[in-house]
Copies of this chain bind each other. A is one copy, B any other.
């Protein structure tokens, strides 16, 4: 199986296959007499594993670990779960961050006419920093943050 065929079969681009080989994520492929890489079904399965891992947002480094856990069927599921859970935490943290950005911007955009006038709370916020959000009445009671 050529690299192109392996690419089509796995959904991983030929460029990426070479890259994964180069960084040691996959074993160096066999070579034909003419120096073409030659892939087995098993190689393609590994590539599919990698592809799926990437689509779940795992870094190549995490996939390296997951792949070695997968190959060694005696390893405890604890290790796999730890990697996955750490990744989920990471995802959720980044989601929260981006959600906050989106919410802030949405609020600012709603206050922006979006017409010919130049007045725009978005620019004001960028220039002057975040305006304190509508103060909650409870806060007057001296609860120090």
Contacts and interface: CB of A to CB of B under 8 A. Distances in A.
Contact of A52 (B75, B115, B125): B125
Interface stretch (A12-20, A22-30, A87-95): A87-95
Nearest to A77: B120
Number of copies: 2
A137 interface: no
A126 B73 CA distance: 14
A112 interface: yes
Q: Binding site of A, secondary structure by majority: helix, strand, loop or mixed?
A: helix
Contacts of A113: 77, 81
A108 interface: yes
* Chain B CB within 10 Å, residue with most, of A99, A105, A108, A112: A105
Nearest to A70: B123
Nearest to A81: B114
A127 B70 contact: yes
Interface of A: 45, 48-49, 52-53, 55-57, 66, 69-70, 73-78, 80-82, 84-85, 87-88, 91-92, 94-95, 98-99, 101-102, 104-106, 108-109, 112-120, 122-123, 125-127, 129-130
The 5 A-B pairs with the shortest beta carbon distances in the complex, nearest first, are: A81-B114, A77-B120, A91-B102, A57-B101, A76-B116
7 contacts: A70-B126, A77-B114, A78-B116, A81-B113, A88-B102, A88-B105, A94-B98
